[in-house]
């Protein structure tokens, strides 16, 4: 076939497919061509630039930021939303995006972990719609939810509401996030109802977590699941910038180990890291350092955040960029040969 004849056929197939909206099977019948030939011609039409495919990004969609975060920080997925610079607005807008993510990607029979005391996660579950089909899911509370009576309503609402919309079985953790002593924690963990839920932490496949700054949020402070100011100062002195499920880490993502860990009843960093999808839902200037630390530690693999936070994360060098390259070890030359 002469080149002009091939180009003519290529163009005809491309117009029928892209402009007239015909399916490949329809084109097969009209032109008496095989499907493999049509497929080959469509691919060639792109290579010859007869067909040029462009994607027009709508306002408020930040694919470049999302792809940059994924490449830079090794994320499975990043979702970036537009929002005004206000903590309440950011929590609401990020929460709505997280709700859509859950509704769009949840698979059958997931074991869904959710942390308590997160205003952003409250917005998430409140924005969700009830699934029309059975999901076979189990919703596990992965941070103790007992606290002051008023605040505990929020913790129970998170687990109960998520279970309701997912048509899932809820597993409440009937313990505080922070207990007063190691002995107190031991006593809680001996309770069969607490132990049953804690043993499910290793089975979580889809975790939803807020990312906290060292300074507790209003909701967390109201719950009573906080450390004293003296204890928080100790965490700051040791470099803590944030927490996941009240487990603290520094800006490089390294866990900040203190005796306070022994008083927390929640999923650990290591357990969270082994979850197939661990989704951090957070944003706002107050949490920039905390979000960076969570990402540097690879404690989460999906991030849903606001545009300003995403820009800040990409503007600052990653900790891996700061580390000097490892020197290559020179091979020792064989005896008798010059080095």
pLDDT score at 318: 62
pLDDT score at 336: 40
Closest of 275, 253, 312 to residue 69, by C-alpha: 312
pLDDT score at 1: 52
The architecture of the domain spanning 63-316 is 3-Layer(aba) Sandwich (3.40)
CA distance 213 to 285: 10
Run of H or E including 4: helix 3-14
pLDDT score at 244: 97
pLDDT score at 226: 82
CA distance 187 to 184: 5
pLDDT score at 106: 96
**211 contacts 287 by C-beta, under 8 angstroms:** yes
CA distance 165 to 158: 11
CA distance 79 to 300: 13
Q: Which pairs from 202-205 meet CB under 8 Å and 24+ separation?
A: 202/271, 202/274, 203/111, 203/140, 204/111, 204/112, 204/113, 204/140, 204/142, 204/267, 204/271, 204/275, 205/110, 205/111, 205/112, 205/275, 205/276, 205/277
Domain ranges of the chain: 3-47, 63-316
CA distance 101 to 58: 18
CA distance 1 to 208: 58
pLDDT score at 146: 84
Token pair 């960076």: residue: 292
Domain 3-47 of CATH type 3.30.565.10: no
- Distance set, CA 327 to CA 112, 261, 310, 330 (Å): 43, 37, 32, 9
pLDDT score at 54: 81
Closest of 110, 157, 107, 102 to residue 130, by C-alpha: 102
**238 contacts 214 by C-beta, under 8 angstroms:** no
Phi, psi of 111 (to 5 degrees): -105, 105
Enumerate residue ranges in the chain where pLDDT < 70: 1-2, 150-153, 318-339
- Distance set, CA 183 to CA 54, 149, 188, 189, 190 (Å): 62, 23, 9, 10, 11
pLDDT score at 60: 85
The pTM score is: 0.83
- Give tens-digit pLDDT for 273-313: 999 999 999 999 999 999 999 999 999 999 999 999 999 99
270-291: burial string, b at 16+ Cβ within 10 Å, e else: ebbeebebbbbbbbbeebbbbb
């Amino acid at each position: 076939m002469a080149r002009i004849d091939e180009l003519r056929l290529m163009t005809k197939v491309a117009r029928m497919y892209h402009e007239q909206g015909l399916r490949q099977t329809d084109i097969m019948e009209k032109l008496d061509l095989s499907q493999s030939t049509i497929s080959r011609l469509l691919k060639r039409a792109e290579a010859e630039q007869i067909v040029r495919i462009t994607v027009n990004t709508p306002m408020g969609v930040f694919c470049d930021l999302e792809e940059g975060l994924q490449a830079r920080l090794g994320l499975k997925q990043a979702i970036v939303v537009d929002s005004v610079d206000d903590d309440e607005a950011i929590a609401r807008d990020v929460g709505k995006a997280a709700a859509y993510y859950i509704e769009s990607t949840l698979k059958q029979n997931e074991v869904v972990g959710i942390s308590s005391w997160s205003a952003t996660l409250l917005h998430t579950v409140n924005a969700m719609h009830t699934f029309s089909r059975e999901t076979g899911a189990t919703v596990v509370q992965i941070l103790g939810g007992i606290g002051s009576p008023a605040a505990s309503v929020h913790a129970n609402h998170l687990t109960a509401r998520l279970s309701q919309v997912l048509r899932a079985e809820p597993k409440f953790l009937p313990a505080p996030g922070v207990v007063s002593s190691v002995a107190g924690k031991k006593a809680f963990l001996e309770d069969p109802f607490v132990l049953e839920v804690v043993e499910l932490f290793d089975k979580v496949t889809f975790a939803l977590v807020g990312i906290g700054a060292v300074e507790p949020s209003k909701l967390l402070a109201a719950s009573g699941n906080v450390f004293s100011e003296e204890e928080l100062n100790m965490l700051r002195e040791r470099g803590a910038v944030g927490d996941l499920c009240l487990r603290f880490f520094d800006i490089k993502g390294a866990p900040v180990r203190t005796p306070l860990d022994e008083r927390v009843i929640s999923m650990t960093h290591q357990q969270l890291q082994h979850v197939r999808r661990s989704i951090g839902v957070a944003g706002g200037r107050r949490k920039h350092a905390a979000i960076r630390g969570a990402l540097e530690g690879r404690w989460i693999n999906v991030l849903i955040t606001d545009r300003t936070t995403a820009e800040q994360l990409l503007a600052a060098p990653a900790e891996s960029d700061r580390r000097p390259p490892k020197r290559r070890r020179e091979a020792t030359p064989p005896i008798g040969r010059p080095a």
